[in-house]
A and B are shown apart, each in its own frame.
Chain A
């Protein structure tokens, strides 16, 4: 009996029609494909993308070389060298590097930062054209900060009450 039923079903292409109904159903549904890079998916204000070092509105860098981010980094991606700054003797980094090959974008550095200096921006699409460019130097990080400060500040503002 079971064999007979199978025979009839395969003869009448029932399974094919079932499958096609899904196909046809989706064909008229609203499209969810995002036309990257013209279109982008929405991001959370807590998005953890490429890093940046922030500055205060007067241009003074925030980072005080406390090295907590370096200590907390589970991938040991951050390398800091510090010393007293030439002109005023304050504690500053002389080298701040993030190895993007090591970084796992966990956001611990941002959480550990007592002065909100190192942050993760919404930038996630980047590439390297040369060997060695995967290491973000202090200048590159500060530049990221300059470029995205408005967005960074707005995101921290939104998230402030949960922190």
Chain B
């Protein structure tokens, strides 16, 4: 076992102590929801099977599964083939002793396996059900497939990004998955409160599509009221100038030339502070730059002049100089910056963790252990722990869940392993 940090021992009860969640489904959004609930103290049981591994176990390709702790820490991970009769019975038994059942499988699939929502309700009348879908569980697209990173096109955001006449502006992540993953715990905790107060349960359906569109912002209203689509402004802003990223000196350590500083100046007071921090250069005293309107009208020239000023400087130096003068500025962070950030590290944002290198055709118990890193849930709570949680390998908690929680004997567990039910 490599030496990795774990949470400090604590006797403080967690916010969601006593809540048990069955998490049933792969990928990003649903596991993120489970990780958030787990970090808040819920007991999250993740149901998987070695027979059909989550494709995320093999990502990133250069270190297969090293990214998994960020989604899977703080959970009890069990292996169970729910397509078998005994497997179905066991997941339903788990539902009976749990408060929440959450899944991202399609209804026809759950139905085929005998664990559709009416059956969940029969097992546990007051279970909170969170059903996560891609494009929606009902309606014309309910059978349609989607794919994380492409949802930014579907949800309207890529045609709000970049400049007019450019191809859709793309961010290299499936960020709508994260919106969904963080909306869902809010819905689940609220549903638990509602259940405690009224005795009523709830089934909530979310979708990655809706979660993305929900963040299109005031542009949705502007179209309806004024009949116009959003303006693609690149890095510029309707209410601030200068407002953009400016090239800086190559990274002194890596030699990477892809270094930028973002500067955002909303009013004339900040402009005065900028001028002072920049050493009151002559170009900045031009009368056309005195007001925001003037700076907006002359943005091309202004941006060129600022770039000349930033280009020989280190991006961190520009940030520090401007921020100490009160001007909003930030480096465009790279992985090296985040990993080594003394600011983030002083907040214990990252923590080392072990992981297991996934290998196709080899049972997870045989996978080689390695060292990785994961971030903390970014809601630092003063009174209850936000735990990083231990990182279990697939199936590592079988004995706890099937033995301690469900009361199977070692012999029964061994038999079910042999029959590839617990597998």
A and B held together in a complex? no
Which positions in A face B, CB cutoff 8 Å? none
Which positions in B face A, CB cutoff 8 Å? none
